[in-house]
Structure 1
């Protein structure tokens, strides 16, 4: 099955694609300036009037986002900015009021919270150290990690700190398996992305109220680009971006194949699914892909 690519709107869409059905809006975080002096914004594309609207112009370097279980709020992975600590925040979709949910682990500030997914009673987020390597944050005392937050108990758990660059996240439909991309791509010297490095997708079998997990490697992606967005497709397969490619494989890591490849200079960053379509960001536009 192959997809075709179509432009939706030209805009500075970078990360955090979230479809809110009751509003008919596609939310996203913008690309920060190249010198990182101007942080990302939070915006949305309104399908009713086909226009772009801004929720927060200068965010706390917002990156990944997801919808809460009640579908009335956004959970935002904020990387932090200079002297402002990274955190997970919640934004009310009616008032756009923002509140901080958690901004530290055992008293230590996070590195750069990046991707986030919501389960019924928990949310999960990755904390790589992009902010330090990109020069807009000091180095954290915490190792890079994967976290689970129990909403009802207001408790934060570290599910693992052995990953090199914990990045993209996807949660199975039954909420029993978490998929994690480890890019393994930051080097000690800039440029810090090593596109020739192998990428790894892990599965974590969740148990004990999602406060711990057993980690297993399901697939090693040959060096071919930088994996970023990852979702569970309608047929329960994994779909993920890899530079100018849209890739897929089974949840067991089998049958790796390319769904779409663009010969032009398009870097797919993030993906989301809404009303049977795939949507992808490329830093200067939002596209939709369909069969």
Structure 2
């Protein structure tokens, strides 16, 4: 994408979006692989080393088996971006979302017919030691754990839709589609939200007073039903008897193109989500500020340094440069 078609990239719906874009927003293609959809989910950035960990969409390996690949991309300043390693991990099957965690990465494994779905911690350096963190809800197997975020109190919040069964590689669900909170210190796990068609992306507001959850119920396996939900819900993080719970669910936004998948906030509370036409951006009050239009849409993305966004576009990895005062809330950079 070049400067000549910039007007087709930065779609402004509200003047406040200009403050996010800055005077000269740019977009550049970092990597492309037309053979496999290598850039689909996760997007876990390590600012000190310039490493970006991403997960692919499903593809057929040389044996005709469905698999998902974890890749480490080197984004060192002054050097051309490159995938330095494709990481095979026997524990993590059908990897999806991920987040920086305890010096490494917490990956969501969607599981397979005979391997569990759950949360797995992986070192971000060789030999990439991996260990399970949670693989069931009080003995009942998860459906297909999809996305995850960490609260400052150390608790892990994650979504568990039934996409593995929808797509034919997981058994029939033994749990409803739900959102969970796991406290590693006490080993306590509990459901914090249900009644969501397909809970997918999850993130906190910068003050951790709100949880945003995307519902991608419009898509189930190969089928799309436009009468079903493609929305973002906001929940208040409340407290009762010394424990957090979610209250006051409200419809925050409804995507007009495709489904809202990955979701992040900047430090000012603006909400970004990967949708069918690119990255959509809303104010903390739910006003659509603008869109960054990318053909094919964006499943997930992450913030880099000072206004950078790394956008995952299946066969392409893009780098966006917004205003330098824009910082992702997750890492605060």
Q: Same fold (TM over 0.5)?
A: yes
Aligned to 1:18: 44
Alpha carbons 2:96, 2:107 under 8 Å: kept: yes
Match for residue 184 of structure 1 among 204, 217, 227 = 217
User: What is the deviation of 1:149?
Assistant: 0.8
Instruction: Tell me the secondary structure at the aligned position of residue 13 of structure 1.
Output: coil
Instruction: Tell me the secondary structure at the aligned position of residue 59 of structure 2.
Output: coil
After the TM superposition, which residues 215-234 of structure 1 pair with which residues of structure 2 at under 5 Å, given as runs? 215-221=248-254, 223-234=256-267
Aligned to 1:44: 72
Specify whether residues 78 and 202 from structure 1 end up closer, same or farther in structure 2 by C-alpha distance, changes over 3 A only. same
- Rounded to whole Å, the distance in 2 between the matches of 1:182 and 1:247 is 15
Alpha carbons 2:206, 2:266 under 8 Å: kept: no
Specify whether residues 156 and 227 from structure 1 end up closer, same or farther in structure 2 by C-alpha distance, changes over 3 A only. same
Does structure 1 residue 272 correspond to structure 2 residue 305? no
Which has the larger displacement, 57-66 or 126-135? 57-66
Alpha carbons 1:196, 1:223 under 8 Å: kept: no
The gaps in structure 1 that reach 5 residues or longer are none
Alpha carbons 1:196, 1:224 under 8 Å: kept: no
The number of aligned residues is 284
Does structure 1 residue 131 correspond to structure 2 residue 164? yes
Aligned to 1:54: 86
Runs of 4+ residues deviating >3 angstroms: 195-198, 207-211
Aligned to 1:259: 291
Match for residue 290 of structure 1 among 317, 321, 327 = 321
Deviations 1:74-132 (A, max 9, x none): 00110001111101000122341000011111211000000111112111110000000
- Rounded to whole Å, the distance in 2 between the matches of 1:210 and 1:290 is 39
Which has the larger displacement, 78-87 or 173-182? 173-182
- Rounded to whole Å, the distance in 2 between the matches of 1:21 and 1:128 is 30
User: What is the deviation of 1:57?
Assistant: 6.0
Aligned to 2:4: none
User: What is the deviation of 1:40?
Assistant: 0.8
- Rounded to whole Å, the distance in 2 between the matches of 1:114 and 1:131 is 10
Scaled by the length of structure 2, the TM-score of the pair is 0.79
Alpha carbons 1:78, 1:114 under 8 Å: kept: yes
Alpha carbons 2:206, 2:267 under 8 Å: kept: no
Aligned to 1:109: 141
Scaled by the length of structure 1, the TM-score of the pair is 0.90
